[in-house]
């Protein structure tokens, strides 16, 4: 009994610490650095900031290299004959012919392409009908749509026009997929916070019933893959062919411990985006691409991803009371499989919209709303830490517990790096320059006479001199050079966005030829370089650092948040006072 009480106390203490940890790092770390800089520990502060800048330089160089590698992978995979690869795989491993007229039969555990059933789960709320039509039309362009793709339209019951949309979409697309049906998420269900995750939770339950009762497919059928996409996404026409190949060619053991992720490209309405939003779109797009291309990155699915029905059923589907459904689902799968789940890339870009409203300033505001929602994903740190502790207690041996913690560490590192780097990168690098050029301004002393070096203080008591110890400091040398390399790598990385844009330009909305600075690749590169040089830091503050600083305070009081509307023209709330019901 006393042992259980001790465990409960440790859990609550760890949970509280995890909720406070983001604020302690972001706020506490920055305040401590400022206090030390204002006092007599400026060299110590400079050392800490220099080490951080060197780390950031490493990240920026990795970002640049992996972005270029990702572009090459997109170029290669977009031209791959996935149907041909599937045929070769089927010939090589799926079937074996018997001698003397024996029947051809499958090898144990093997699947062929025609066995696989893809189900696209599409949660939606108040999305314009033409946007939904475009999303489904892109899905229907797949060569295997009629035979191997089913669609689950996950509506919200509180949307007044949901039934009409469902009827219209069924009329247009019913014959273009293997099947299509709709679910309607009821409002006010216990523990169901309004948003994408709760919608998916309900849709998955209804999907399992539909598959079992109508199609005779059990919840743990090994042939079914579920792909979750945003309602404004345009899938690559070869994605499901590539996904089928990756699914059947992966070993049986690993197949159901893998999620698949296409690179998310926020370029669909690029031509209408304000400059700050364009810069944000470029870097968020390239970041996803670089992470997928980096073999050392512990990638976590974002926005749209694929998961086997076996794995989804094994973990109980989606949770209805968390905001970051993509990150949370992966974290949940990782925790419940003792850290064995991995995310595998498929380099066929999926295009979606960035938030957009009728006016310039409203669009900036909608992007700000989206940034605040994304920043709340820091709450997943609390979930992983507290649930990881409970998982360790349940494991039967020390060896399995140690292996679980080892496998979970990269996931914690990924969450920590993503959020804390976004929150501190711009601010701490600016703080380093302030320390060098302002707070350490009094670190001057006369060093013309080498014999006086032993008596040369760093508080400026000898008065103004013509030489500075500061200028000859190795830390300052490293800080300034690393900052220059970091800035150059960031600017060059932004220019890669021009190449990426022209690789997918046929899928962009609007007439590119009307934009003189975009239709020519070298000119677009130069314009992006200029925009990033002038406003990249500002964008980093507005859509990176500040939303995370706000989120760190909100996590202290709660780890469950409603899904905030990030604008799309034609989409709004049921109630003027209700700003948290969009998808």
pLDDT at 205 over 90: yes
Write out pLDDT tens, residues 559-576. Answer: 666 665 555 554 544 443
Residue 88, number of CB atoms within 10 A of its CB: 13
- Confidence bin at 434 (pLDDT 50/70/90): confident
- Helices 275-293, 360-375: axis angle to 10 degrees equals 30
Q: What is the pLDDT of residue 306?
A: 96
Q: What is the pLDDT of residue 105?
A: 43
User: In the CATH hierarchy, which top-level class contains the domain 111-373?
Assistant: alpha beta
pLDDT at 269 over 50: yes
Indicate the burial class of 550 (C-beta count within 10 angstroms; 0-12, 13-18, 19 or more): middle
| Residue environment code for 297-336, b if the CB has 16+ CB neighbours within 10 A, otherwise e | bbbbbbbbbbbbbbbbbbbebbbbbbbbbbbbbbbbbbbb
pLDDT at 147 over 60: yes
Residue 340, number of CB atoms within 10 A of its CB: 16
Between 337 and 428, whose confidence is greater?
337
**Mean pLDDT over residues 199-218, rounded?**
92
pLDDT at 284 over 60: yes
Write out pLDDT tens, residues 31-61. Answer: 888 888 777 677 778 788 888 889 989 999 9
Q: What is the pLDDT of residue 1?
A: 60
Q: What is the pLDDT of residue 251?
A: 87
Between 43 and 378, whose confidence is greater?
378
**Mean pLDDT over residues 532-554, rounded?**
89
Q: Pull the structure tokens for residue 247.
A: 């699914």
Max distance between CA atoms of the chain, in angstroms, equals 101
Task: Specify the DSSP class assigned to residue 104.
Answer: P
* Percentage with pLDDT > 90 across the chain: 45
- Helices 474-503, 42-77: axis angle to 10 degrees equals 20
Residue 417, number of CB atoms within 10 A of its CB: 14
Mean pLDDT highest for which of 257-261, 301-305, 423-427? 257-261
Q: What is the pLDDT of residue 104?
A: 42
Give 474's strand partners.
none
Q: Give the span between the Cα atoms of 67 and 65, in whole angstroms.
A: 5
Between 96 and 269, whose confidence is greater?
269
Q: What is the pLDDT of residue 567?
A: 57
Write out pLDDT tens, residues 56-83. Answer: 899 999 999 999 999 999 999 999 999 8
**Mean pLDDT over residues 425-443, rounded?**
71
Residue 20, number of CB atoms within 10 A of its CB: 15
Helices (H) and strands (E) in the chain, counts: 20, 11
- Confidence bin at 91 (pLDDT 50/70/90): confident
Q: What is the pLDDT of residue 440?
A: 56
- Confidence bin at 477 (pLDDT 50/70/90): confident
pLDDT at 305 over 60: yes
Q: What average pLDDT does the chain have?
A: 84
Q: Looking at the whole model, is its pTM more than 0.85?
A: yes
pLDDT at 319 over 80: yes
Q: What is the pLDDT of residue 460?
A: 45
Give 117's strand partners.
224
**Which residue ranges make up each domain of the chain?**
2-75+420-557, 111-373
- Ranges of H-type helices in 395-458: 398-434
């Amino acid at each position: 009994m006393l042992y259980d009480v001790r465990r409960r106390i440790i859990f609550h203490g760890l949970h509280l610490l995890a909720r406070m940890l983001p604020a302690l790092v972001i706020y506490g770390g920055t305040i401590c650095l400022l206090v030390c800089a204002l006092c007599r520990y400026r060299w110590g502060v400079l050392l800490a900031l220099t080490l951080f800048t060197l780390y950031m330089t490493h990240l920026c160089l990795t970002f640049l290299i992996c972005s270029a590698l990702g572009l090459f992978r997109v170029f290669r995979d977009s031209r791959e004959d996935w149907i041909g690869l599937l045929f070769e795989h089927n010939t090589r491993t799926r079937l074996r012919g018997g001698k003397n007229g024996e029947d051809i039969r499958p090898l144990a555990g093997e699947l062929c392409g025609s066995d696989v059933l893809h189900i696209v789960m599409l949660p939606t709320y108040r999305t314009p009908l033409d946007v939904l039509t475009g999303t489904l039309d892109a899905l229907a362009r797949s060569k295997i749509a009629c035979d191997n793709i089913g669609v689950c339209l996950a509506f919200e019951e509180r949307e007044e026009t949901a039934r009409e949309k469902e009827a219209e979409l069924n009329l247009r697309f019913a014959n273009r997929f293997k099947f299509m049906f709709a679910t309607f998420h009821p409002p006010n269900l216990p523990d169901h916070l309004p948003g994408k995750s709760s919608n998916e939770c309900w849709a998955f339950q209804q999907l399992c019933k539909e598959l079992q009762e109508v199609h005779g497919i059990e919840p743990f059928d090994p042939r079914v893959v579920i792909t979750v996409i945003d309602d404004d996404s345009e899938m690559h026409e070869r994605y499901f062919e590539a996904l089928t190949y990756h699914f059947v060619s992966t070993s049986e053991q690993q197949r159901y411990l893998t999620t698949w992720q296409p690179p998310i490209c926020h370029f669909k309405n690029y031509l209408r985006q304000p400059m700050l939003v364009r810069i944000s779109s470029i870097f968020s797009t390239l970041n996803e691409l670089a992470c997928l291309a980096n073999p050392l990155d512990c990638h976590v699915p974002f926005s749209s991803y694929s998961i086997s029905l076996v794995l989804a059923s094994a973990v109980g589907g989606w949770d209805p009371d968390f905001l970051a459904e993509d990150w949370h689902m992966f974290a949940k799968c990782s925790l419940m499989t003792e850290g064995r789940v991995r995310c595998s890339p498929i380099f066929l870009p999926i295009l979606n919209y960035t938030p957009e409203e009728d006016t310039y300033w409203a669009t900036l505001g909608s992007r700000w709303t989206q940034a605040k929602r994304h920043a709340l994903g820091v709450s997943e740190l609390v979930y992983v830490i507290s649930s990881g502790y409970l998982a360790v207690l349940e494991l039967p041996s020390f060896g399995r517990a140690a292996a679980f913690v080892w496998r979970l560490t990269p996931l914690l590192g990924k969450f920590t790096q993503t959020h804390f780097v976004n929150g501190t990168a711009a601010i701490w690098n600016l703080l380093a320059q302030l320390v060098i050029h302002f707070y350490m301004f009094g670190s001057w002393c006369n060093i013309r006479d080498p014999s006086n070096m032993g008596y040369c203080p760093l508080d400026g008591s000898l008065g103004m001199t013509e030489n500075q110890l500061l200028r000859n400091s190795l830390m300052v040398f490293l800080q300034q050079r690393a900052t220059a390399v970091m800035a150059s790598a960031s600017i060059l990385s932004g220019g890669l966005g021009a190449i990426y844009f022209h690789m997918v330009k046929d899928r962009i909305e609007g007439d590119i030829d009307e934009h003189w600075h975009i239709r020519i690749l070298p000119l677009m590169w130069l314009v992006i370089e200029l925009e990033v040089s002038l406003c990249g830091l500002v964008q980093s503050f507005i859509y990176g650092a500040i939303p995370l600083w706000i989120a760190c305070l909100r996590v202290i009081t709660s780890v469950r948040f409603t899904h905030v509307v990030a604008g799309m023209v034609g989409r709004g709330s049921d109630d003027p006072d209700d700003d948290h019901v969009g998808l």
